[in-house]
Amino acid sequence: MIEAENISKTYSRGESGTVEALQGISFQIGPGEFVAVRGASGSGKSTLLNIVGCLDQPSSGTYRLDGEDVANYGDKQLSRIRNAKIGFIFQSFNLLPRTTALENVEIPMVYRDGHVDRRRALSALERVGLAARAHHFAMQLSGGEQQRVAIARALINSPALILADEPTGNLDVNAGREVMRLLEDLHNEGRTIVLVTHDDAIAASASREIQLRDGKIISDRQPSAKSSLPLVEGAR
């Protein structure tokens, strides 16, 4: 599914030189894996997620997504990939505030072929348990509800890959648990999930854990069997 080879990402910081956010890392993620990416802030995990999500491109190295070498792709091709293959879930939800839950869910369909299937959007909301709030504005929803709308939005084009950047970071424990349960369901359906977190408990849901420090992978634990530990607050 994901093949990253010797990926580096360098940001220029004006006259004070450059920052190497990623220093030649390589890894592969197979279809259906549930991977947690961990590391302190500034370790490069967000940069990694952006590259994996085709929002950014590596400064050097090759990145293949579903066999496509996207390193040389232009704006249109990258946008198509983001639209069709990837679903993003952000820490701050990133819903359009003065827009209803339903309309938020519909946005990715607009950019696919312009055909908006309202019933499909409603059933996606139903799936995250928010059908009743479809016509509420995003800003009227609680944090947990907003994140569930964001999950429905990520799912609407049936992407194979779900990228979640600290999805529970802004949520209380119960809402966080609900979001993680949804992510696990998606994983059980066979979707590939890459999750950035620094919460041990959250990371425990994943079947594999990649640790980053200073732009390098310092550990890549791949337990033989998928962890089926229930999510327990404060575990480990």
Binding site for another protein (CB under 8 A): 50, 53, 55-56, 75-76, 79-80, 82-84, 88, 90, 94-96, 98-99, 103, 107-108, 110-116, 153, 157
- Closest to another protein by CB, 100 vs 192, is 100
Q: Which of 139, 101, 145 is nearest to 121 (CA)?
A: 101
Instruction: Quote the least distance from Cβ 99 to another protein, whole Å.
Output: 7
Q: Which of 61, 49, 53, 55 is nearest to 10 (CA)?
A: 61
- Closest to another protein by CB, 26 vs 79, is 79
Please list the residues that pair with 219 across neighbouring strands: 211
- Closest to another protein by CB, 20 vs 220, is 20
- Closest to another protein by CB, 111 vs 181, is 111
Exposure string over 4-23, b if 16+ CB within 10 A, otherwise e: beebebbeeeeeeeeebbbe
Give the count of beta carbons closer than 10 Å to the beta carbon of residue 33.
19
**CA 101 to the chain's CA centroid:** 20
The whole-angstrom separation of Cα 130 and Cα 152 is 9
- Closest to another protein by CB, 87 vs 204, is 87
Instruction: Quote the least distance from Cβ 56 to another protein, whole Å.
Output: 6
Instruction: Quote the least distance from Cβ 66 to another protein, whole Å.
Output: 15
Instruction: Quote the least distance from Cβ 75 to another protein, whole Å.
Output: 5
The bridge status of strand 161-165 relative to strand 192-196 is parallel
Instruction: Quote the least distance from Cβ 117 to another protein, whole Å.
Output: 12
